[in-house]
């Protein structure tokens, strides 16, 4: 039987921290499905389709990575996919409380679930998509923080934002 896990998140945009988790879990699992949440309550920088494209570009070298999106509850998506392993990255102790509550609530709703928290490498422990957007919007250099394949997509998006007066 194939060992499959789902790595859910907002990925707005994918960072080297996310890539670290994807790279490492792709060696443990036969297949990893990176699932982008379609969240109507947030105003993302990139659309769900754009975020999926950025993930695809960043994971081209990993044949066992699939990119998908989901709406609503993660547990419903797991059921639909018939997968019960969820992987999430843990950057610091501060992430733990949120991840712990989410894992507990998900386990209550879907007892078959196994949430695996993978510690990010220390060099990535300070990274977040929000910081990266902030740095990029303020003309800082983001090349050390995101996969090289997507740096120009982010700078292009910032230019479009400026042009449209956002």
Applying CB under 6 A, which residues contact ligand PNS? 8-10, 37, 73-74, 102, 105-106
Neighbours of 70 (CB within 10 A): 19
Nearer to ligand PNS, 101 or 159 (CB): 101
Q: What is the number of the residue whose Cβ is closest to ligand PNS?
A: 9
Q: How far is the CB of 90 from ligand PNS (least distance, A)?
A: 11
Q: How far is the CB of 22 from ligand PNS (least distance, A)?
A: 13
Name the residue with tokens 């507990």.
104
Catalytic status, residue 42: yes
Catalytic status, residue 94: no
* Catalytic position from the list 88, 129, 133, 157: 129
Nearer to ligand PNS, 48 or 74 (CB): 74
Catalytic status, residue 57: no
Catalytic status, residue 129: yes
Q: How far is the CB of 52 from ligand PNS (least distance, A)?
A: 14
Please classify residue 110 by burial: count the beta carbons closer than 10 Å to its beta carbon, then call 0-12 exposed, 13-18 middle and 19+ buried. Answer: middle
Nearer to ligand PNS, 49 or 163 (CB): 49
DSSP for 100-119, please give it.
HHHHHHHHHH-TT-EEEEEE
* Catalytic position from the list 27, 41, 42, 139: 42
CA distance 79 to 44: 26
CA distance 66 to 25: 13
Q: How far is the CB of 104 from ligand PNS (least distance, A)?
A: 8
Any residues with CB less than 8 A from the CB of 86 and at least 6 apart, and which? 5, 6, 7, 8, 74, 78, 103, 106, 113, 114, 115, 116
Name the residue with tokens 């070298």.
61
Catalytic residues: 18, 42, 91, 129
């Amino acid at each position: 039987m194939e060992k499959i896990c789902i790595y859910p998140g907002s990925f707005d945009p994918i960072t080297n921290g996310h890539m670290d988790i994807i790279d490492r879990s792709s060696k443990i699992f036969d297949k990893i499905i990176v699932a982008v949440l379609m969240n109507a309550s947030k105003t993302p920088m990139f659309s769900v389709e754009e975020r999926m494209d950025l993930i695809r570009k960043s994971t081209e070298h990993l044949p066992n990575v699939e990119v998908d999106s989901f709406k609503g509850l993660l547990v419903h998506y797991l059921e639909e996919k018939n997968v019960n392993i969820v992987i999430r990255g843990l950057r610091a102790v501060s992430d733990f409380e949120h991840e712990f509550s989410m894992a507990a609530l998900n386990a209550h709703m879907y007892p078959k679930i196994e949430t695996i928290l993978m510690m990010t490498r220390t060099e990535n422990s300070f990274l977040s998509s929000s910081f990266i957007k902030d740095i990029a919007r303020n003309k800082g250099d983001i090349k050390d923080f995101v996969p090289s394949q997507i740096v120009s997509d982010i700078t292009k998006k910032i230019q479009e934002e400026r042009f449209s007066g956002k």
